[in-house]
Structure 1
Amino acid sequence: MKQFALLLVWVLAVQQIIVAQKTDTERFVKPMKIKPSVSGSFGELRSNHFHSGLDLTTNRKTGYRIYASDKGYVSRIKVSPYGYGKAIYIDHDGGYTTVYAHLERYSERIDSLIRAKQYEQKSFAIELFFKSGEIDIERGEVIGYSGNSGSSGGPHLHYEVRDKASQKPMNPLFFRDDIMDDVRPQVQGMKLYCLSDDATIGGKRKDHYSSTVFYDRAFHPKGSTIFKAHGKIGVGVQVLDYLSDSWRKCGISTIDLYVNDSLVYAFKIDKFSFAETRYINSHIDYAEKVKSGKVIQKSFVDPNNRLSLYKTKNAYCADIKPGDKKIFKYVIEDFSKNRSVLAFTINGEAPPTQAKAKDNSLISVKYNETFAIDTLGLQLEISAKTFYTDINMLIHKEEREGMIAPVYIIGDKHIPLHRSMTISLPIPDSLLKYDDKLLVAGISSNSKTYSVGGKLKDDRLSVSTRGFGRFTLAVDTIAPSIKLRKAPENNHYGGRQTIQLIINDTFSGIKSYECLIDDQWALFEYDAKNYRLTGTFKHMPFLSKGKHNLKVMVEDNAGNKSIKEFNFIK
Structure 2
Amino acid sequence: MRILVLLLAVGMLLPVDMLIAQSGRTFDPADATYLWPTNASHHLTSTFAETRSRHFHAALDIKTWGQRGYEIYATRDGILHRIAVSPTGYGKVIYLKHDDGSYSIYAHLMSFNEELQQFADSIRFAEDFTPSFDRVVEDQHIRVQQGDVIAYSGASGIGPPHLHFELRRPDHSPFNPLQTNLTVQDNISPTISGLSVEPLSPQSTIEGMKQVYTRNPHRQNGTFHFGTIEVSGAVGLGLDVYDQSNGISNAYAVYELSLSVNGRERFYSRVDSFSYAETHQMFIDRVYPLLRDHGKAYQRLFVADGNTLPFYRTNRQQGRLYLPPGEHAVTIRATDFFGNQSTAVVNLRVKESATERFTDRPRIFSPQKVREVDINDWRWFDNWVMIPEEDYREITVATPDPWRLSSHREEVIIDLKTLDNLFMNIPGMSPTIFHRMVPEQKGLITSVNRQAMALFPEHTFYDTVSVTLSSKRFAPDSIKVTVGPEAYPVDKSYELRVKRDSMLTDTSGLAFYKYSKRYDNWYPVTTRFTEEHIIAESRTLGTFISRRDTTAPEVSRPRLHRRPDGQWLVYISVTDNLSGIDHERTEISVNDRRGLAEYEPEDQRMAYYHPEFTPTATMDIRVTLYDRTGNKTSETFQLGR
Q: Does TM-score exceed 0.5, indicating one fold?
A: yes
Map residues 102-117 of structure 1 onto 2, 5 A cutoff: 102-117=108-123
Q: Distance in 1 between matches of 2:235 and 2:49?
A: 27
Q: Secondary structure in 1 aligned to 2:293?
A: helix
After superposition, the Cα gap between the structure-2 partners of 1:349 and 1:510, relative to the gap in structure 1 and judged at 3 Å, is same
Greater mean deviation of Cα atoms: 206-215 or 272-281: 206-215
CA contact (8 A) 2:110 2:152 kept: yes
In the alignment, which residue of structure 2 is the partner of 1:382? 456
> Per-residue CA shift, 1:130-171, capped at 9, x if unaligned?
33872111221111111111112x2211112221x1122211
Match of 1:173 in 2: 178
Q: Is the Cα contact below 8 Å between 1:107 and 1:144 reproduced in 2? A: yes
Q: 2:132 aligns with which of 108, 111, 125?
A: 125
Contact 1:434–1:475 (CA under 8 A) maintained in structure 2: no
Q: Secondary structure at the match of 2:312?
A: coil
Cα distance, 1:278 vs. partner?
Answer: 0.7
User: 8 Å contact 1:432–1:459 — kept in the other structure?
Assistant: no
- Does the CA-based 8 Å contact 2:36-2:182 persist in structure 1? no
Instruction: Tell me whether 1:509 sits opposite 2:580 in the alignment.
Output: yes
Q: Which residue of 1 aligns with 2:255?
A: 253
Matched-pair contact (CA < 8 Å) for 1:171–1:270: yes
Verify: 1:451 aligned to 2:457, yes or no: no
Whichever residue aligns with residue 539 of structure 1, its letter is E
What is the percent sequence identity of the aligned residues? 25
1:50 maps to a residue whose letter is F
**AA paired with 1:444?**
S
Identify which of 141, 157, 163 aligns with 1:150: 157
Displacement of 1:565 in angstroms is: 4.8
Aligned match for 1:316, one of 303, 319, 337: 319
- Answer whether contact 1:69 1:140 (CA < 8 A) is retained: yes
- Measured against aligned partners, the alpha-carbon deviations of 1:388-433 in whole angstroms (never above 9, x if no partner) come to 2232345455676x9963433331333211122322234564x435
Query: What residue is the counterpart of 2:491 in the other structure?
Result: 418
Conserved? CA contact 1:304–1:385, under 8 Å: no
Instruction: Give the whole-Å Cα distance in 2 for the aligned partners of 1:204 and 1:544.
Output: 67
Residues 486 and 521 of structure 1: CA distance in aligned 2, closer, same or farther (over 3 Å): closer
How far is 1:263 from its partner? 2.6
CA distance in 2, matches of 1:408, 1:118: 40
Structure 1 residue matching 2:506: 3-state secondary structure:
helix
Q: Are residue 200 (structure 1) and residue 205 (structure 2) matched?
A: yes
Q: Distance in 2 between matches of 1:340 and 1:208?
A: 22
Question: Residue 281 of structure 1 aligns to a residue in which SS?
Answer: helix
Greater shift, 468-477 or 325-334, is seen at 325-334
Amino acid at match of 2:93: A
Change (3 A) 1:408 1:183: same
2-structure distance, mates of 1:77, 1:39: 24
Q: Aligned partners of 1:45 and 1:333: how far apart in 2?
A: 17
Aligned equivalents of 1:538, 1:442: Cα separation in 2:
39
Distance, in Å, in 1 between the alignment partners of 2:618 and 2:218 is 69
Secondary structure at the aligned position of 1:45 is classed as coil
Per-residue deviation, 1:566? 5.3
Counterpart of 2:269 in structure 1 is 267
Write the distance in 1 (CA, Å) between the matches of 2:504 and 2:477.
12
* Distance in 2 between residues matched to 1:249 and 1:546, nearest whole Å: 48
Shift of 1:470: 1.7
Q: Which residue type is aligned with residue 147 of structure 1?
A: G
Counterpart of 2:272, as a letter, is: D
**Does 1:527 find its partner at 2:600?**
yes
Alignment match, 2:7? none
Q: 1:451 to 1:525 in 2, by over 3 A?
A: closer
Matched residue type, 1:556: D
User: Conserved in 2, the CA contact under 8 Å of 1:74 and 1:132?
Assistant: no
In the alignment, structure 1 residue 558 sits paired with structure 2 residue 629: yes
Alignment of 1:48-197 (within 5 A): 48-121=54-127, 122-131=129-138, 134-152=141-159, 154-163=160-169, 165-176=170-181, 178-197=183-202
Verify the 8 A CA contact 1:550 1:565 in the aligned structure 2.
yes
Secondary structure of residue in 2 paired with 1:554: strand
Select the residue among 472, 476, 482 that pairs with 2:549: 476
Q: Which residue is 1:45 aligned to? A: 51
Match of 2:329 in 1: 327
Partner-residue secondary structure (3-state), 1:336: coil
Letter in 1 for 2:347: T
Structure 1 partner of 2:225: 220
Query: What is the DSSP-based 3-state SS (H/G/I as helix, E as strand, rest coil) of the residue aligned with 2:245?
Result: coil
Matched with 2:510 is: 438
Q: State the alpha-carbon separation in 2 of the partners of residues 404 and 23 from structure 1.
A: 57
Cα distance, 1:233–1:399 mapped onto 2, change above 3 Å: same
Any stretches of 5+ residues in structure 1 without a counterpart?
Answer: 1-21, 489-494
1:25 Cα shift?
10
What is the letter of the counterpart of residue 63 of structure 1? G
Q: Is the 8 A contact 1:25 1:174 kept in 2?
A: no
Aligned alpha-carbon RMSD (Å): 3.1
Specify whether residues 411 and 537 from structure 1 end up closer, same or farther in structure 2 by C-alpha distance, changes over 3 A only. closer
Q: 1:109 to 1:173 in 2, by over 3 A?
A: same
SS where residue 236 of structure 1 aligns?
A: strand
Q: Does 1:461 align with 2:534?
A: yes
Equivalent in the alignment of 1:14: none
- Of residues 360, 366, 378, the one that matches 2:437 is 366
CA contact (8 A) 2:266 2:314 kept: yes
The equivalent of 1:279 in structure 2 is 281
> TM-score scaled to structure 2, two decimals?
0.76
Q: CA deviation at 1:384?
A: 3.5
The letter of the residue matching 2:43 is S
More deviation, 305-314/134-143: 305-314
Match of 2:124, SS state, is helix
Unaligned runs of 5+ in 2: 1-27, 359-405, 407-411, 415-421, 425-432
1:172-211 deviation per Cα after TM superposition (whole angstroms, max 9, x unaligned)? 2233455111111111111121111222223433332111
Q: Is the 8 A contact 2:595 2:610 kept in 1?
A: no
Give the secondary-structure state (helix, strand or coil) at the position aligned to 2:76: coil
For residues 164 and 124 of structure 2, what CA distance do their matches in structure 1 show?
24
Distance 1:521 1:535 in 2: 9
Query: Offset of 1:41 from its aligned partner?
Result: 1.0
Distance 1:131 1:23 in 2: 23
Structure 1 residues 456 and 139, CA, compared in 2 at 3 Å: closer, same or farther? closer
- CA distance in 2 between partners of 1:74 and 1:124 (Å): 20
Q: Is the 8 A contact 1:25 1:177 kept in 2?
A: no
- Return closer, same or farther for 1:478/1:100 CA change in 2, 3 Å cut-off: same
Q: Secondary structure at the match of 2:260?
A: strand
Distance 1:137 1:536 in 2: 26
Q: Give secondary structure in 2 for the equivalent of 1:50.
A: coil
- Residues 37/202 of structure 1: CA separation in 2 closer, same or farther (3 Å cut): same
Secondary structure of the corresponding residue to residue 187 of structure 2: coil
Write out per-residue CA displacement over residues 496-533 of structure 1, whole angstroms, 9 at most, x where no aligned residue.
Answer: 93333333332112232234567765333332322323
In 2, are the aligned partners of 1:333 and 1:340 still within 8 Å (CA)? yes
Alpha-carbon distance in structure 1 between the residues aligned to 2:60 and 2:464: 36
Q: Aligned equivalents of 1:358 and 1:454: distance in 2?
A: 37
TM-score of the pair, normalised by structure 1? 0.84
- Deviation for aligned residue 1:24: 4.6
Measured after TM superposition, the shift of residue 383 of structure 1 is 3.0
Name whichever of 258-267 and 142-151 sits farther off: 258-267
Q: Which amino acid counterpart does residue 340 of structure 1 have in structure 2?
A: S
Higher relative CO (CA 8 A, sep ≥ 6), structure 1 or 2? 1
**Could you tell me which amino acid in structure 2 is paired with residue 468 of structure 1?**
L
**Alignment CA distance shift 1:58-1:465 (3 Å):** same
Query: 1:241, CA displacement in angstroms?
Result: 1.0
CA, structure 1 residues 547+327, in 2 after alignment: closer, same or farther (shift >3 Å)?
closer
**Contact 1:229-1:320 at 8 Å conserved across structures:** no
- What's the offset of the Cα at 1:253? 0.7
Partner of 1:115, secondary structure, is: helix
Aligned with 2:272: secondary structure? coil
